[in-house]
């Protein structure tokens, strides 16, 4: 499972809910023997857009371009796909380095 690392939120209630959801997801994966990989927001943006300080709009645009999608994505959908793309790129780079 690939997941974005914790970030600081201005909204304490949202940060608490996010932390609880992350904890539940990570615990479920660990209990099932699924490896968990965490990526910083900067790493996800770098892997997807090529710029570590990319905006949400830039992430959405690049996810659509990379996957040749015509459907508009919600921000959360694009973020989740961007994390998966970052994980895939990281895995490919690691495989090349060990080949």
- Structural domain total, the chain: 1
Domain interval for residue 8: 2-97
Q: Which residue has the higher pLDDT, 44 or 12?
A: 44
> Using CA atoms, how far apart are residues 23 and 36, in angstroms rounded to an integer?
12
H/E run at residue 85: helix 75-97
Q: What is the pTM of this model?
A: 0.83
User: Per-residue pLDDT tens for 71-97?
Assistant: 889 999 999 999 999 999 887 666 555
For the CA atoms of 25, 51, 81, 75, what is the dihedral angle to 10 degrees? 90
Domain CATH code at residue 91: 3.30.420.10
């Amino acid at each position: 499972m690939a997941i974005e690392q914790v970030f600081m939120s201005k909204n304490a209630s949202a940060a608490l809910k996010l932390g609880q959801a992350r904890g539940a997801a990570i615990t479920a994966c660990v209990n099932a023997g699924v490896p968990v990989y965490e990526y910083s927001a900067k790493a996800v943006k770098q892997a997807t857009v090529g710029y570590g300080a990319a905006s949400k709009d830039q992430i959405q645009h690049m996810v659509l371009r990379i996957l040749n999608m015509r459907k508009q994505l919600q921000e959360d959908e694009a973020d989740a796909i961007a994390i998966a793309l970052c994980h895939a790129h990281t895995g490919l780079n690691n495989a090349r380095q060990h080949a």
